[in-house]
Amino acid sequence: MVKSNIDKKSIAKDLFIKSRCTQEEIAEKVGITRQTVSRWIREGKWEELRVSITISTEQIIAGMIKQISDIQDGANARPEGQRALTAKEADTIVKLSSAIKKLQNEAGITDIVNVGIKFTNWLRSIDIEKAKEYNELWDLFIKDQLK
């Protein structure tokens, strides 16, 4: 059975995002041209998706917490009586804390994409045609969220 273009596009997208294959490798595996893969990557904003999946909200928060800890460690390493945070350090901690709280309370694109992938995989095992239809709608939704 010949794969439809939608099937090929879905397979190419999975390979690009999850396996880090080159465009040439994807084209060869899926049976399309490298130019088609390149066009799909550009039009579908697959680069943004790959990046958003690569770094999770938890990793971003962990990095921010580490920055706060480093600032506090730096202040604590100063001589007695000079350990108070500077205005710049305090401002940085306030901004980082605010960003952490915001990230904890909002679903990021990574979370959204991960849920979509899990749901698509689940739906595919039940009804492949509905999964294809859902995948098309999901792609439109993600593109809209990346605007």
Task: Return the structure tokens found at 114.
Answer: 């991960």
pLDDT band at 2 (very low <50, low <70, confident <90, very high): very low
Residue whose entry in the numeric block shows the structure tokens 């689940």: 122
From the list 2, 3, 16, 12, the residue with the least C-alpha distance to 33 is 12
pLDDT digits (tens, 9 = 90+) for 78-135: 999 999 999 999 999 999 999 998 887 666 666 777 788 889 889 989 998 898 899 8
CATH architecture of 1-44: Orthogonal Bundle (1.10)
Q: What is the pLDDT of residue 107?
A: 65
Look at the alpha carbons of 17, 44, 139, 28 in this order and tell me if their dihedral is positive or negative: negative
- Asked if pLDDT for residue 54 goes beyond 70, the answer is no
Residue type, 128: I
- Asked if pLDDT for residue 5 goes beyond 70, the answer is no
15 φ/ψ angles, rounded to the nearest 5 degrees:
-65, -45
**40-48 mean pLDDT:** 90
Q: What is the pLDDT of residue 1?
A: 33
121 by Cβ neighbours in 10 Å (0-12 / 13-18 / 19+) ranks as exposed
Look at the alpha carbons of 109, 114, 115, 121 in this order and tell me if their dihedral is positive or negative: positive
Q: What is the pLDDT of residue 59?
A: 83
CB atoms within 10 A of CB 36: 17
What are the domain boundaries of the chain? 1-44, 54-105
